């Protein structure tokens, strides 16, 4: 499969988040990726040829995007525009990464060997969230995501047809519309892209598969309690990484008991 990779980035408490993320992406064999950075993000680690500062874009905007006075699209709109920008590339699989994701070695080649486990599999999530339906799997497994909205969108690879359907969805700007019209939420402050993606995929009859051991981890420096760009606080509870396989995993196919 031919991959295209986009990283959405925003200012974070830890200024080395993006560099750590990029290093792990490159060490997984993805040499070229595009970084879509919000204003004031630390981007000195990114080659200019791979960097797009929002609200700049490659593709036509997804619907009626609105940026803040500072030029910020926000998590939700940046993700959507990233998807549209990536779809201009000649690729079969589209990896969208948040800039605090750190991949375990071998994760990308492992997932590439699994594309696609089902004719209606539209995406594979590298990240496993700490939810009970996944915690109950004592043996490492690769399974369809059992809930509606996703829990975490740190690193998800999409089939072209699925991602194209998502960015073309007329429901995009119905989501949280009531809050925006009431003035309680600005368009650039929309969040929960993972919830929206999971709900819309299910409505479109696409499946998202995931693992019961996470292939990516949140980057949080040892002396910091949290590194969220959205003010979510520490990655605890359901937002915690579920049983990260580690920075030196064994053979992933054997680990997940695949032939």
CATH code of the domain covering residue 240: 3.90.550.10
Secondary structure class of 210 (helix, strand, coil) = strand
Task: Give the per-residue pLDDT at 191.
Answer: 84
Number of domains in the chain: 1
- For 131, 149, 153, 198, 240, the CA distances from 237, given in Å and listed in that order, are 8, 17, 16, 20, 6
- Structural domain range at position 146: 3-255
Number of Cβ atoms within 10 Å of the Cβ of 43:
18
Task: Give the per-residue pLDDT at 227.
Answer: 47
Residue written as token pair 């750190």: 102
* Segment holding 3, helix H or strand E: strand 3-9
In which residue ranges of the chain is pLDDT below 70?
132-133, 220-239, 259
Task: Give the per-residue pLDDT at 171.
Answer: 80
Task: Give the per-residue pLDDT at 101.
Answer: 93
Q: How many residues does the chain have?
A: 259
Task: Give the per-residue pLDDT at 7.
Answer: 98
Give dist(CA 135, CA 54) in Å, integer: 38
Q: Whole-model pTM?
A: 0.91
């Amino acid at each position: 499969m031919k991959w295209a990779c986009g990283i959405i980035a925003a200012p974070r408490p830890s200024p080395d988040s993006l560099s750590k993320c990029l290093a792990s992406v490159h060490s997984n064999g993805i040499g070229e990726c595009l970084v879509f950075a919000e204003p004031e993000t630390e981007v000195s680690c990114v080659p200019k040829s791979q960097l797009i500062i929002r609200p700049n874009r490659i593709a036509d905007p997804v619907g009626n995007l609105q940026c803040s006075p500072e030029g910020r699209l926000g998590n939700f709109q940046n993700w959507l525009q990233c998807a549209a920008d990536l779809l201009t590339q000649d690729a079969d699989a589209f990896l969208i990464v948040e800039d605090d994701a750190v991949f375990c070695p071998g994760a990308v080649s492992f997932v590439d060997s699994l594309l696609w486990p089902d004719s209606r599999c539209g995406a594979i999530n590298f990240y496993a969230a700490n939810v009970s339906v996944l915690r109950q799997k004592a043996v490492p497994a690769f399974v369809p995501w059992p809930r509606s909205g996703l829990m975490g969108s740190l690193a998800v690879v999409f089939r072209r047809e699925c991602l194209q359907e998502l960015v073309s969805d007329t429901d995009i700007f119905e989501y949280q519309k009531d809050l925006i019209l009431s003035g309680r939420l600005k368009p650039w402050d929309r969040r929960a892209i993972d919830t929206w993606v999971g709900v819309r995929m299910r409505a479109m009859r696409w499946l998202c598969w995931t693992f019961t051991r996470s292939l990516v981890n949140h980057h949080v420096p040892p002396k910091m309690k949290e590194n969220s760009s959205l003010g979510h606080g520490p990655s605890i509870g359901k937002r915690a990484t579920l049983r990260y396989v580690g920075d030196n995993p064994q053979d992933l196919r054997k680990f997940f008991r695949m032939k």
